Chains A and B, each alone.
Chain A
């Protein structure tokens, strides 16, 4: 049975069909919200409220987007409301994360970490990398983090992200890039501290 048919059954009041939808999307939604909030308690609250809201609004689901995307947008609204109350850090301009100010191939003005990562998975435990990513994402203001995660974790196109967050394609692209640069810079500094010596010894 296709997902559209399962949704129709759920909309007609079939709880088993709704449970099927929950089971199909619960882990992906949980993983996304966990990355978005960085906090297990916030994640639990948002995931819970998302599925409860999905019941309340199930008649409004028209199938223009997939059911998963619909759930993601409900979760995003909850997360936005939560983070609107919290102070957000500032984002540096794109240039601050790039090797600019170059002369003769040198980059004396670069603020960005230019440590050669090699393969982080060969140098650090996957769980440790996961923790560092979580820490890094937390340093990125919510508006940038949501755009980045929708693009690369939810694998939406830039246009879809722009429509979801209500921004122009150009502004969305800029947010995604800045978040990616900020996270790269955060990870780069941590990787250099954790296994930089090992990499330098090899070269």
Chain B
């Protein structure tokens, strides 16, 4: 079982991102079916990326946007002579 877990680990990232050969994928899936810890690991690694993408969506704050607009206009005039 220890060997299986190590084999599983070596292909982990490619497996989770769906970039693995079908044969190896099948072996990993079989292992996950038998090893609860590795199942938890795969599931939570998937969720880590999902939460990162779906988590708090930051937007440019209005105060910064206002400041930025002025700064960009000034820099543009310096470069192109008009804005």
Contacts and interface: CB of A to CB of B under 8 A. Distances in A.
Nearest to B2: A102
B49 A180 contact: yes
B13 interface: yes
Contacts of B41: 98-99, 112, 114, 184
Interface residues of A, number: 57
Contacts, number: 137
B48 A183 contact: yes
Interface string A171-203: 001001100110110011000000000000000
Given A30-B58, A52-B75, A103 B64 contact: no
Interface in A1-54: 13, 15, 18-19, 22, 26-27, 30-31, 34-35, 43-44, 47-48, 51-52
A180 B55 contact: no
Contacts of A31: 57-59
A180 B48 contact: yes
A57 to B, nearest CB: 10
Interface in B32-71: 34-38, 40-41, 43-45, 47-49, 51-61, 64-65, 67-69, 71
B52 A152 contact: yes
A189 to B, nearest CB: 11
Interface in A102-138: 102-105, 107, 110, 112, 114-117, 120-121, 126-127, 129-131, 133-134
